[in-house]
Amino acid sequence: MFHNFVKVAAAIPIVEVADCQTNAERIFDLIQEAENQGVEIVCFPELCITGYTCGDLFYQTELQKNALKALIWLVEKTADFHITFIVGLPIYFKNALFNVAVVCRNGKVRGFVPKINMPNNNEFYEKRWFSSGQNIVNQDIILPNEFDAAPFGVNLMFEYNEFKFGIEICEDLWTPIPPSSQLAMHEADFIFNLSASNELTAKHLYRKQLVAQQSARCISGYVYVSAGFGESSTDLLFASSAFIAENGVILAESERFVLDKQLIISEIDIDRLRADRAKNSNFNNSCNSTEYQIVGIYNEDNDWQNFTRKIDRFPFVPQGKDLDERCEEIFNIQANALAVRLFHTKIDKVTIGVSGGLDSTLALLVTAAAFDKLKIDRKNIFGITMPGFGTTARTKNNAWALMRSLGISAEEISIEKAVLQHFADIGQSADNHNVTYENSQARERTQILMDYANKIGGLVVGTGDMSELALGWATFNGDHISMYGVNLGVPKTLVRHLVKWVATQFTIYDLRFTNEATANILLDIAETPISPELLPADENGEIAQKTEDVVGPYELHDFFLYYFLRFGFSPEKILFLAEQAFCLQSQDEKIYTSEEIKKWLKVFLKRFFANQFKRSCMPDGVKVGSVNLSPRGDWRMPSDASAREWLMD
């Protein structure tokens, strides 16, 4: 194990039906390959030593004897291996034949787990050959060749170092309450399923969803592996279906309809699973009184480094084929939340500061969508651009172009005279570009928005995002305050992505919401450097004050924020994951060195702990994802907490 990741594999050998020794040799080859790749536990299909499609040959004592001999051969052959492997075979025990999974490691058979639920339908007639293991508990099977007796029963759970796993077999998963549900509630961190599931039209998708959903219900890892090439095709086809899932997410899957062996590998994150279980106070409510027999499989430290699991650089940003649907859902959550607030307050006017930057752009788009939903004229949206000492032509022009494009009421109110007067009042030199110089501008803008809202009988829509709150990158009682913050549940990387996404959606509400001209404005805003524009521009009139030069890259801070809040990971583990995502994966985007990541992680921790007082009095705002910083809901932290232990780690 490495950082509490367990490297697991699903292996699908080519089968010779009823040829146990040939099957054992092919299984051995895959075990050896998995061992060489640092796999800690590898699982094979149901009845893989004999083949699943033996039919009435299962009654043959010769087949039963040869299956056990092949198992013993495998166990002896792998005595010096570090890997744990799980294979399937038929076992005769006390006047009955059982379909079992057997766990082996270091030259020992560690335990036999019988299948409980036997299919008995038009495709499978397992009850013809096998008995259910439902009532088999606390038994032992005597093995030949001077092997120790091995425990046999449905109440077996295997402890691998400090973590536990359980086993169910094929049809067990398809029942209303699979054995894995109770195994998980009795502390099994992951489940292995040895299966032989034939192919039918549309069955593959259902099977994949079933595995993903069961891993989610159990908040567990789940390794599912079904029979493949070589099984008899007399009536059915088995096409090598295997998945490695973790809490609802498929981490790896096999390729179907291939005529070769397969080995799929990934890492299951025990810390991630346990963090979610700890937060789910209902997880153990249906736990029964089964007493599980714990079988220890202790492994020496294995500091494998060939990490195969892909760590996404942008955990908050939707990925894959459902990208558009997810973005629209997030955008609609924001717009509907604002619509609800306007409806309940009977307010039909708002003010919003429009800077030409990312946050105010997304907030304005969301506000326009909310007004459309409520059928309120967009002229009731009062967009105010408030140029100051650092405002550049690029952002100012984009702010005006966007407001005109959306058809809202637009106004420009310069803050320079008011701020200079304030400087004179408090004795602040305009040449001293300190924090007072910057924050005075932010507070003046907020005062304008608040007072203008009073003037029109409106509400101030806040534009600040979750990343800024996490880092405390907001002026207290300045841009920190609003009457409703539509972006408070949206981190900076997602803000940028949503603005780009809206630019591509020409028909999201109607043609005047997003047209080609608006799209071009949005794309330019998305490429503008992130800045509060509180310091004067450079000699070329370009943005001189770039936020990421000061606090660090938002793509790193959002990454840190996700794993810190969502799973409570230690800084050491967050650093490891960030290195996997930004240093060690072959990707085209910008990368960072380990030292750079460590530097910005320290900045994140210091700023996060130091700025809780700002989050403790943040305005209302909608949650859109699994992570949020509202002190009324997801994140309740004392403002005086110390970051020392995290920084030491």
Q: What is the 3-state secondary structure (H, E, C) of 381-432?
A: EEEEECCCCCCCHHHHHHHHHHHHHHCCEEEECCCHHHHHHHHHHHCCCCCC
Whole-number pLDDT of residue 90: 98
Task: Return the higher-pLDDT residue of 629 and 633.
Answer: 629
Contact 234, 17 (CB under 8 A): no
Amino acid sitting at position 56: D
Over residues 383-396, the mean pLDDT reads: 95
Q: How high is the pLDDT of residue 248?
A: 95
174 and 215 Cβ atoms separated by less than 8 Å: no
- Enter the DSSP assignment of 98: E
Residue 97: strand pairing partners: 92
The yes-or-no verdict on residue 453 having pLDDT over 70 is: yes
Nearest-angstrom CA–CA distance, 26 and 279: 43
CA torsion sign for 499, 504, 507, 512 is positive
8 A C-beta contact, residue 350 and residue 319 = no
Give pLDDT, residue 589: 57
* Lowest mean pLDDT across 209-223, 300-314, 350-364, 529-543: 300-314
Let me know: does 388 contact 522? Beta carbons within 8 Å. no
What pLDDT band is residue 432 in, cutting at 50, 70 and 90?
very high
pLDDT score at 153:
96
Provide mean pLDDT across the span 37-57. 96
- For residue range 13-44, list pLDDT tens digits in order: 999 999 999 999 999 999 999 999 999 999 99
Q: Which of 168-172, 265-269, 279-283, 598-602 is predicted with the least confidence, judged by mean pLDDT?
A: 279-283
The mean pLDDT of 439-452, rounded to a whole number, is: 97
Of the candidate ranges 3-12, 121-130, 148-157, 187-196, the one whose mean pLDDT is the lowest? 121-130
pLDDT tens readout for residues 556-596: 999 999 999 999 999 999 999 999 999 865 555 568 999 99
Contacts of 598 (CB under 8 A, 6+ apart): 575
Name the CATH topology of 323-648: Rossmann fold (3.40.50)
Q: How many residues does the chain have?
A: 649
Q: Is residue 385 pLDDT above 50, yes or no?
A: yes
User: Is the predicted pLDDT of residue 298 greater than 80, yes or no?
Assistant: no
Q: Which of 479, 468, 409 is nearest to 443 (CA)?
A: 479
Could you tell me the two tokens for 612?
């809780």
Report the greatest alpha carbon distance in the chain: 100
**SS3 of residue 457 by DSSP:** coil
Confidence of residue 119 (pLDDT cuts 50, 70, 90): confident
pLDDT at 511 over 50: no
Using 50, 70 and 90 to split pLDDT, how confident is the model at 512?
A: low
User: How far does Cα 96 stand from its chain's mean position?
Assistant: 45
Host H or E run for residue 438: helix 435-456
Residue pointed to by tokens 């027999």:
293
Catalytic residue list: 46, 115, 170
Residue 7, helix vs strand vs coil: strand
How far apart, in whole angstroms, are the C-alpha atoms of residue 457 and residue 469?
A: 28
Q: What is the model's pLDDT at position 640?
A: 95
Handedness of CA 172, 174, 175, 179 (dihedral sign): positive
Q: Give me the sign of the Cα torsion angle 297, 298, 304, 307.
A: positive
Percent of the chain with pLDDT over 70: 96
Pairing between β-strand 249-253 and β-strand 242-246 as defined by DSSP bridges: antiparallel
The per-residue pLDDT of the chain, averaged, comes to 92
Distance between CA atoms of residues 241 and 262, nearest Å: 10
Cα 185 to Cα 255: distance, rounded to the nearest angstrom: 32
pLDDT of residue 514: 63
Token pair recorded at residue 217:
């219900």
- Tokens, residue 261: 């062996």
Residue 175 reports pLDDT greater than 70: yes
Nearest of 506, 513, 608 to residue 558 by alpha carbon: 608
Q: Which pLDDT does position 465 carry in this prediction?
A: 96
Residue 249 to residue 255: CA distance in whole angstroms: 17
Alpha carbon distance 386, 441 (integer Å): 10
476: region left, alpha or beta (phi > 0 left; psi from -120 to 50 alpha): beta
Structure tokens, 533 = 């524009």
Residues 183 and 192: their CA atoms lie apart, in Å, by 11
- The fold for domain 5-297 equals Nitrilase/N-carbamoyl-D-aminoacid amidohydrolase (3.60.110)
Query: If DSSP states are collapsed to H, E and C, what string results for 127-149?
Result: HHCCCCCCCCCCEEECCCCCCCC
Every domain of the chain and the residues it spans? 5-297, 323-648
> What is the share, in percent, of the chain residues with pLDDT greater than 90?
83
Q: Does position 58 have pLDDT exceeding 80, yes or no?
A: yes
Q: What is the pLDDT of residue 323?
A: 80
Distance CA 627, CA 467 (A): 11
State the Cα–Cα distance between residues 215 and 549, nearest whole angstrom.
41
CA distance 626 to 131: 44
For 96, other C-beta atoms within 10 Å of its C-beta total 13
Average pLDDT over residues 308-337: 90
| Distance of alpha carbon 434 from alpha carbon 422, whole angstroms | 15
H/E element, 12: strand 5-12
pLDDT at 509: 52
Interior/surface letters 283-308, b for 16+ CB within 10 angstroms, e for the rest: beeeeeeeebbebebebeeeebeebb
Confidence of residue 86 (pLDDT cuts 50, 70, 90): very high
